[in-house]
Amino acid sequence: MYKKIVVAIDGSDHSFLAAEHAIELAKLQTGTHVEGIHVLNYEKTKSDVLHSSDPIQLQMQREEKFKRFRDAFEKAAVPYKLIMKHGEPAPMILEHARDTSADLIIIGSRGLNPLQEIVMGSVSGRVAKRAKCPIMIVK
């Protein structure tokens, strides 16, 4: 049914729940591959770099943030790939799903930035509005 699942990962608990749903769906059918995409927002990335004295430590912090995602995929023995891109989250998630011919996008209902959600609307809402493939929003 789903051969390629794209799951949006931002390190939040909601995105971890989305990853768990991706794992469960992938285990139902042999040959399903999951791609976790993390989009680094330009402003957040610029701020992190400017306030960090050690770029290696900054990279290690980012890697540590996604350790529980890697551990969950590996424990479940589900084929996966974690991808990091720079840009606006919703358009980049949609572009990646389109470019990789994703069969399903899974995304958490809330991310790490509630203030931005109030001002601009949720990433999940924008992805749901524009997606060309089925989408699952996990609460």
Q: Can you tell me the distance from the alpha carbon of 46 to that of 48, in angstroms, rounded to the nearest whole number?
A: 6
Domain that holds residue 18: 4-137
The single-letter DSSP state of residue 111 is -
Percent of the chain with pLDDT over 70: 80
Please give the tally of structural domains in the chain. Answer: 1
The arrangement of strands across the sheet holding 33-40 comes to: 80-86, 33-40, 4-8, 104-108, 135-138
Which conformational region is residue 75 in: left (phi greater than 0), alpha (psi within -120 to 50 degrees), or beta?
alpha
Alpha carbon distances (Å) from 36 to 73, 85, 102 = 10, 11, 12
pLDDT digits (tens, 9 = 90+) for 49-74: 455 666 677 677 777 778 999 999 99
Q: Has residue 114 got a pLDDT over 90? A: no
Q: What's residue 58's pLDDT? A: 65
| CATH code where residue 37 lies | 3.40.50.620
- Mean pLDDT for the chain? 85
Q: Which two tokens stand for residue 43?
A: 């402003």
